[in-house]
Amino acid sequence: MATSNNIRVGIVGGAGYTAGELIRILLYHPNTTLKYVQSSSNNGQLVSSVHKDLLGETDLTFNNIDFSQVDVLFLCSGHGKSIEYLAKNEIPEHVRIIDLSHDFRLKREGNTFVYGLPELNRSTIKQASRIANPGCFATGIQLALLPLAAAGLIVDDLHVNAITGSTGAGQEPTKTSHFSWRDSNLSVYKAFEHQHLGEICESLKQAQSNFGNSLHFIPVRGNHTRGIFTIAYTRFAGTLADAKTLFADYYLSHPFVWITDENPDLKQVVNTNKCLLYLEKHGDQLMIITCIDNLLKGASGQAVQNMNLMFGLDEKAGLNLKSIAF
């Protein structure tokens, strides 16, 4: 069984970008032992043969998981795969699950997973045994809007533009993640109908029960590798000082969200679990900028943050990471 000093970890779907970042964090987490990394396509191979940045850091090989020997299971496979995996495998009651796919994020009958955005559901996460880790775009957008919703101040439509790095498309090569296409290039995709809209709107409704405004979201493919830069704006009757106080009060106890008075850039957060948040007022419109690393605060870092809360650890354990900055 787990103790606060030795949480035994298994990872399912261990060959992708999010799993690679998860492995990197957990190898040096002060309270975890990484026991198993599973990958159907790489069984028996060294983990470092796929995640080459881990050469010399671990001699683990990809193997099937003995569930009796783990305390927490991270599911890092593609969307739809987590439901399949849990249907095919009987997971013991004591094993906690953190799913990084889209499979359990939306509320529905029979879904017992808690939505794992600590800045919204921290107290519930602490008591949970099943966590649905939020999407990357969803994280950046929700952190921009939740303080307004919690104060009941979303009174008009919401407008969001966000740009993501190529790692957001996953490790499997596609036309729009190929270097020759992505380099020096930009494009819009899934305008007004991105799959993360459902979870964002559910969270805003949770925070502000009368929320019913439209959320207009334009996602953009960037020509960088990692990071999400989000720009949101909506009508706000107060002053900029009012907004800054509102946001500062909301995030006062949340260690990874930092409100800055200087217009931020993406490299300030890449390789960290931070979210930088910046506010401007233009006429009756409040503009909110958030910056996160899509692979960390938008995926694996947030998953570890959730694990820390579930096991009663310091929320920041294993996540004191420095940005690349340049």
Please name the residues in contact with 181: beta carbons below 8 A apart, sequence gap of 6 or more. Answer: 175
Please name the residues in contact with 246: beta carbons below 8 A apart, sequence gap of 6 or more. Answer: 147, 148, 151, 153, 238
Given 76, 136, 201, 275, the catalytic residue: 136
Q: Which whole-number Å values give the CA distances from 242 to 195, 253, 279, 280, 288, in the listed order? A: 33, 19, 11, 11, 13
Residue 197 and residue 138: Cα distance in Å, rounded? 7
Residue 290 and residue 278: Cα distance in Å, rounded? 7
First to last CA, the chain: 42
**322 with 271: CB under 8 angstroms?**
yes
**300 with 21: CB under 8 angstroms?**
yes
CA 281, 284, 286: angle at the middle one, nearest 5?
Answer: 40
Residue 293 and residue 320: Cα distance in Å, rounded? 14
Known catalytic membership, residue 136: yes
SS3 string, 106-126, reads: CCCCCCCCEECCHHHHHHHHH
Buried b (16+ CB within 10 A) or exposed e, 37-73: bbbeebeeeebbebbeebeeebebbbbebeeeebbbb
Reading the block at residue 181, the tokens are: 């296409």
The residues carrying an active-site annotation are 136
